[in-house]
Amino acid sequence: MPRTSADEKILSYNDVVLRHSDLRILNGPHYLNDRIIEFYFSHLSSSHPSEHILLVPPSISFWITNCPDITSLQDFLQPLNLPSKKLIIFPVNNNDDVAAVEGGSHWSLLAFEKTANVFVHHDSYGGMNKNHAKRLYKTVVQYTGGSGTRYMECGCSPQQVTGYDCGLYVLAIAKEICDWFDSDSPKNEDLWFAQVVERVTPGRVSGFRVEILELITSLRGKSDVL
């Protein structure tokens, strides 16, 4: 079967390959797929190069949440070296079918901050993913190397105004958390909450698709030069 234009590769970035179909998603009012979220997480990792920060790809986060054999998780997670991380960010998806990796209809974000010893769930749609985030937390918490770790739903999480921008909120919030971690902002019990509330607004998120498209264009230009 001949390859369609939607399948054509437009960019290889770290371990992520973007295709024309991903540009179509970003150009329209569409739900973000795993590949776009993995790409932007990879970009954040490059922008915040630190051995203390880990942005977990959607496929790994999904497998941790839904792994049918919990006893095999220790070997699976060992390369991530979770106990050494001070900030870990997971994308959360409401897909329950391990046979449908691209399934699901909603994204949210779960962040672990080691100093405060807390997992924080940010959900832009009224806690829709609460049960999935708690399942991920309960599975992964034993591998982060601490004790007495708390879980909390962030009551001040910015809320989406459309039915398809949840993935953009995950990316925008992840960016602000990473910026906060690398900044001189006070590292108190309020964590990054004020910064997220101030900066992750509907107007800011609505322009985020264009920002990501411009980032892809810039990276494509650099790869052409190289």
The CATH number for 65's domain is 3.40.395.10
Residue 4 lies in a domain: no
Q: Alpha-carbon torsion 88, 94, 100, 102, what sign?
A: negative
CA-based R_g, the chain, Å: 17
Q: What is the pLDDT of residue 43?
A: 98
Q: What is the pLDDT of residue 225?
A: 40
Positions of the chain with pLDDT lower than 70, given as ranges: 1-4, 6, 98-102, 223-226
Spatial CB neighbours of 146, under 8 Å, sequence gap ≥ 6: 83, 114, 117
Q: What is the pLDDT of residue 17?
A: 96
Spatial CB neighbours of 3, under 8 Å, sequence gap ≥ 6: none
Residue 38 lies in a domain: yes
Backbone dihedral angles phi then psi of residue 101, each to the nearest 5 degrees: -65, -30
Residue 73 lies in a domain: yes
- From CA 94, how far away is CA 61, in angstroms rounded? 11
Q: Which amino acid is at 191?
A: L
Name the domain count of the chain: 1
Question: Residues 124-146: pLDDT tens digits?
Answer: 999 999 999 999 999 999 999 88
Q: How many residues can be counted in the chain?
A: 226
- From CA 109, how far away is CA 171, in angstroms rounded? 9
Residue 86 is classified by DSSP as S
Compute the mean pLDDT over every residue in the chain, rounded to the nearest whole number.
92
Residue 24 lies in a domain: no
Domain that holds residue 67: 34-205
Residue 3 lies in a domain: no
- From CA 28, how far away is CA 54, in angstroms rounded? 29
Residue 218 lies in a domain: no
Q: What is the pLDDT of residue 226?
A: 35
Q: Which alpha helices (H) appear in 93-185, and where do they start and end?
A: 130-140, 166-182
Residue 210 lies in a domain: no
Measure Cα distances from 182 to 49, 103, 110, 112, 217 in Å.
10, 33, 18, 15, 26
Residue 225 lies in a domain: no
Give kind and range of the element (H or E) at residue 16. strand 16-19
Q: What is the reported pTM?
A: 0.93
